[in-house]
Amino acid sequence: MSQRMVVSEEGLYEVLAFLVSSAQILVNEPHLYGTFRLIDGASRLIGFALESGQLEDEEFFRRLKEDVDERKFLLMTDEDTYFQLLEDSTRAMAREMKKRASAQEAGA
């Protein structure tokens, strides 16, 4: 399993600005916006990691980001599809991490 740094210091600042701003404004925003900020934050983080070119499995993250960015705005018009995106993204992450854990075990 790689120990490489995949987010630059500039990227870190930008993600942190997004997270702390979100934390502040979510106090008054509709509660579903919280889910949106989290999935959007995930997409932004992936974006910085992809920019670094240091990812082991770039394709997985690229696909995940594309899927998130394609469906995230449906929160405003099609909640069911948006909720499905949240479930699909979580499942995709779990599948990928399980695969990585298995590969690591097999390699140990």
Closest to other proteins by CB, 17 or 93 = 17
**Do 43 and 69 form a contact (C-beta atoms < 8 A)?**
yes
Q: Give the C-alpha distances (Å, rounded to integers) separating 4 from 13, 45, 52.
A: 18, 15, 10
Closest to other proteins by CB, 25 or 101 = 25
Closest to other proteins by CB, 22 or 100 = 22
What are the residues binding other proteins (CB under 8 A)? 13-14, 17-18, 20-22, 24-25, 29, 33, 37, 40, 76-77
CB neighbours (10 Å) of residue 72?
Answer: 19
